[in-house]
Every structure is written in structure tokens, then in C-alpha cells.
Amino acid sequence: MTILGLARDSYGRAWGVRAQGVERGGLRRVAMANACANAFGRVGMTVKRDASGSRGGVPRRSTRRTPRAMWHAFGASPRCELELCSVRKSRVTRECVRGLEVCRSASAATDASAYEPKYVRSPVPVYVMLPLNVVTNDGRVHEPESLADGLMALKNIGVEGVMIDVWWGIVERAGPRKYDWAAYEEVVGLIKDAGLKVQAVMSFHACGANVGDVLEIPLPDWVLEAGEEDPDLFFTDQYGYRNPECISLWADNARTLAGRTPLEAYKEFMMSFKKKFKKELGTTLTEISVGCGPCGELRYPAYPENKFAQNSSQWRFPGIGEFQCYDKRALVAMARAASKVGHIEWGGSGPHDAGGYCNLPAETGFFRYEGGSWDTEYGLFFLSWYSDQLVKHGDEMLATAKSVFGKTGVQLAIKCAGVHWWYNVKSHPAELTAGYFNCRSGRVVPEQDGYAPIAKICQKYGARLNFTCVEMKDADHPWFYHCGPEGLLRQIRAACARYDVQFAGENALCRFDQEAFNKIIANCAGEGNDEKAWRQGDKLPPMACFTFLRYKADLFNPTAFESFKVFVQRMRDETGLLDTSVGTIDEAEELEVAAEEISAESRVQLEL
């Protein structure tokens, strides 16, 4: 027997394939899994018992992913004697047994044109969100020495990169078109020196009105002054409260910002960013996430906590939130839409019986479980219009970002909100007020997938969709709040899979417990390798990346950091598909490979 194929795994170790009964040329395209040492189940082969009924020491874990290249390699000979071995300084050490029956998986696609997202080939990379105030309100880097040490520590444990908010209210604080990038240049330099990558969020919103906001970063003063002259520049609720967290989407094309429209201001901001970081785009700066609303998410500010404005309307979990369609431009748009469908009486305001921020569904006429007015002709009109306006805004924001960053080699992205409370009731009220027309079928209103239109615009611009709740279980919340983070996450991932959109995950709450990490890893890994099921959304492909919330003092507590370190190693061991690079036996003889082992935690999880 001779080595017929060679590949490196994610640790740089070399692995060879030896086989008998197969022509040498038939294995030239053999592709190895990232963690070959885990088991044959990670290589992408279905292993059955031999004639004696023995598994020969092969782990009990079954195949989870079957790379197309492997089936090309074994396509001509479904039965062969195969051996997987490690290669160290031209010495072959047996790692697995021979005499196995290797059979084709019925679900494995051999057509070279079959659906297979490129990003699923490598282990899911881990990023970490930097603190909200890594750059202070006056444009200085917060504790740069400590930041440099922390970044290097993250790099040393295998973190791929970091996510940073690029705050409009900080960069353009001095006045229109007066951009101060000095602090962000310093931070990007520190990240680059640490060998990490950057996901930059164009944060065209304020900080301080939502869950997890521990400080206040307002919009630029000159924007707030424009809002004083034109109060309808901001989203408005039924009580007339103007929310200064972000500019109303209905003002996107209103020339209210020192002679510019908000879309023009966003574009010029991004163009200035592109000019300043031209050398880093596509190398250090690999992703640009476009802020489309509160918290940088594509949604309405339907549930603001407003910690720094205690006299304003206050939302508390699990309130249903409120519709935000009462500024004059929104009302004009609604009236036009109502006139087009022949019901001018529908265009005067939003629903009159939708309750307030902290109401429960059963306390309202609009969202109640049976006979709610959401399930009427008027409800269908209003909710369709309300969500369509949000999707249109997302389309315009992505089009603007694409015009700026389209040829720079960076990945564009937008983010949706994880509105999981009341997900398991028919009307999905909290999602409806946030702008996602997502509900089960009623008497009048057919079942709606509120996230498919967002996946479509991501597909249109080649953008990635970011979403949270990756660590959550339904059982984490009281049953009577009808929370469904698991079902919500699956629904959005399925929509992305159907439209071939890369999906990136985040955790909603900062947790270091094993249960949360197990859930994250399971979600990131995806389900099987049934490409037809992926296209249909029945099964989920692996995620494109995972971003951990958040870089903070608690993360660097020795116990928490050790737990996080093991998590990063497990993400490397237990997710992704394979690297298809294959070498020759001559290359193997020259390799110097470190005797690095799969983590003990991964061995437990993989039943090794």
C-alpha cells in the first residue's frame, strides 16, 4: 500500500490516504477534512460494519458532512481497502483501521454544478465584538495598551478577528463632512499588528436606548439640531414621542442634513472611510456591516429602553412594542398606499387598538389570540405596507454600500434583530411592530415569512445576513412569554439557505457556560451535507462565521477565558467541511509537522 493523497488540516498537520484495490489516479482528487484525526465521520465517508461485525475502533459518530470532492475520488470504486494515516517527517503512523466498506451516500451530490456555498469548507471562524466605547465620544482610543494586550491574547487562542462599531456620532461629530478617523486608525493598526481581521459596522445610530447599551453615544450634534428644525426627521410613535436613536427611513431622501439627504450623508461617510482605510480593505478589513436602524439592525425602534432618557416612553420585556409610523412623511406614504388600494380611510394612522410598548398581546384588540384585527383586510394592508417600507430601506442602504465598497474585496452585511418573544403565538406581535411581517395563517391573512424578503435583498447585493440568538434555547425563558429563539433562528437560516445567502451568527447575551457554548457549536456546524435539502431550506448549512458578544473585563477572567479558549478550539475542531488542497508523497517526505492534538473537550463531544 502506498500514500495516494495528501492534505493539511487546520492545524498544519499532514494526513495521507493509503488504499488497496483502487487505481492510483482515482484518488488524485482526494480531499481531507479539517480535523481528520477526529474520525472517519469527519472525512466525509459513511462507515459500515465489516463482515465480522466489528467497527475496528472507528468512533461511533456517524457522518455529518460529505464533501463533493470525496465522492468524486471514490466514485469509480464504491468498495476498497482504505487507511487514514498521519505523516510526520516521512514516517507513516497508522491512526485508523483498514478493511472498511466505504459506500456512497445516497444524498451526496457528484454534479460539479451542485449547490455548495463556498464558505462551508473551512471551520467556522470566531470573531469577538470590541467594547462599544473602544473609541471614546471625544475621539480617543480607550486604554490602548490594555486593548493591544487583549487583542494579542485573542489571537493566541485562535480567534479570527474582531468586530468594531464605527460611530457616526464620533467620527463626524465636529460638523458635516468633518471626519475624524485618527482614533479608528489607531485601533485598526493595533488589530493589524495582532494579526487579526476586522468586521466594521457603519453605525448610523445612537447608543444608549437598547438592551446591553452601557453608555451613551448620541448622533452628531448637527443631526440632532436638524431634528429640532424638522422633528419629523425621527421615528415617531402614536403618542408623538420622537426617537433620536436613528433617522426615520421615510426621511431617507429628504434634503434635511445641511443640504444633503440622509442617504447622501451615509454614502459620503462610507466614501471617507474607504479613502482612509484603502490599504486595509480586503485584507485586514474583510467585512462592512451596514447599519440600517436601531442597534445597527434592519428594524423599527419598536422597543426602546431609553436608559438615558427616563422621561420618554419605556419598553420592558416582554412587551409587544409599538408601531413607529407617525411622523408626517410616514403618514403621507401610508395615505398614498391606502389610496392606491381604494381605501383612503386606512391611511389616516396606524392601528388604533394595538396597545402600548409594554402591553401583552391578549390586552390588545389588534394582537389578541382569537379575532385580532391583524387578521383582517385592513391588517393585511397595514402590515404589508409597514414591512415593505422597511425592506425598501434595507435595499437602498445596501445599494448605497455596494456603490462604495463594490470593488474593494470586502464582504457586505446587514443585521436583523432577534425578536424572539411572542414568536410562538399566531400573530407574532413583537415582530410585527419591529417591521417583520412574520405570522401564522389566520382567517384572512395567509402565513407570512417575514425574513424571506430580507434574504432576497441580501442575495441581490451579495450581502451576508447577521443574526443573534445563536446560544439561546426556548426553555431559557418563561413559557408564558411564548419565546421561540430556536424556531426563529431556524426560520431565518432556512430563508438564507433557500436564497444562497451566507448566514453569520452572534450570541444575544454574554455567557461562558458550557451549555451556551455547546448550543453555539451545534448551530454553527449546520446539518449534514444534503445539498438539495439546503436549497429547500429543510436542512441548514454551516454558518459563515460567529461573532462573540463581547470583549469585556469578564472575558479575561482566568476561568472565563479558559472556557472561551476551549470553545474557540472546539469551533476549529467541530465545524466546517474541508480544505481540498491535495499534495503528493514527495511533499509528504519534506513535511515537519507539530504533534498537536485535538482538544480533550472535542474528543468528549465527538465520542472519540
CA–CA separation, 299 vs 320, rounded Å? 14
Q: Tell me the C-alpha to C-alpha distance, in Å, between residue 235 and each of 134, 168, 242, 430.
A: 28, 18, 6, 17
Nearest 5 degrees, angle CA 462-CA 9-CA 598?
A: 115
Minimal CA–CA distance to 116: which of 532, 466, 579, 546? 532
Q: Are 211 and 298 in contact (CB under 8 A)?
A: no
For residues 568, 571, 574, 575, the Cα torsion angle rounded to the nearest 10 degrees is: -160
Q: Are 524 and 573 in contact (CB under 8 A)?
A: no
Q: Tell me the C-alpha to C-alpha distance, in Å, between residue 15 and each of 37, 164, 583.
A: 9, 38, 10
Minimal CA–CA distance to 542: which of 157, 103, 135, 64? 64
CA–CA separation, 591 vs 582, rounded Å? 14
Q: Are 364 and 357 in contact (CB under 8 A)?
A: no
Q: Output the nine-digit C-alpha cell for 136.
A: 471614546
Nearest 5 degrees, angle CA 24-CA 9-CA 550?
A: 155
Catalytic residue among 305, 322, 506, 531: 506
Q: Output the nine-digit C-alpha cell for 398.
A: 445596501
Q: Tell me the C-alpha to C-alpha distance, in Å, between residue 504 and each of 360, 412, 595.
A: 31, 12, 32
Catalytic residue among 297, 305, 322, 486: 297
Name the residue type at position 151: L
Tally of CB atoms within 10 A around 283: 12
Q: Look up 83 and say whether it is catalytic.
A: no
Tally of CB atoms within 10 A around 123: 24
Minimal CA–CA distance to 457: which of 530, 535, 402? 402
For residues 242, 217, 399, 227, the Cα torsion angle rounded to the nearest 10 degrees is: 30
- DSSP conformational letter for 205: S
Nearest 5 degrees, angle CA 351-CA 354-CA 356?
A: 125
Burial class (CB in 10 A: 0-12, 13-18, 19+), 330: buried
Q: Tell me the C-alpha to C-alpha distance, in Å, between residue 530 and each of 123, 372, 497, 542.
A: 18, 40, 12, 12
Which residues, listed in sequence order, are joined to residue 338 by a DSSP beta bridge?
A: none
Q: Look up 596 and say whether it is catalytic.
A: no
Q: Are 361 and 368 in contact (CB under 8 A)?
A: yes
- DSSP conformational letter for 125: P
**Looking only at Cα atoms, what is the longest distance across the chain?**
84
Q: Are 540 and 534 in contact (CB under 8 A)?
A: yes
CA–CA separation, 187 vs 148, rounded Å? 9
Q: Are 451 and 414 in contact (CB under 8 A)?
A: no
The radius of gyration computed from the CA coordinates of the chain, to the nearest angstrom, equals 26
Q: Output the nine-digit C-alpha cell for 20.
A: 488497496
What DSSP letter does each residue of 532-597 carry, written as one string? HHHHHTSS-PPPSEEEES--SGGGGSHHHHHHHHHHHHHHHHHS--EE---B-HHHHTT-------
The residues annotated as belonging to the active site are 297, 506
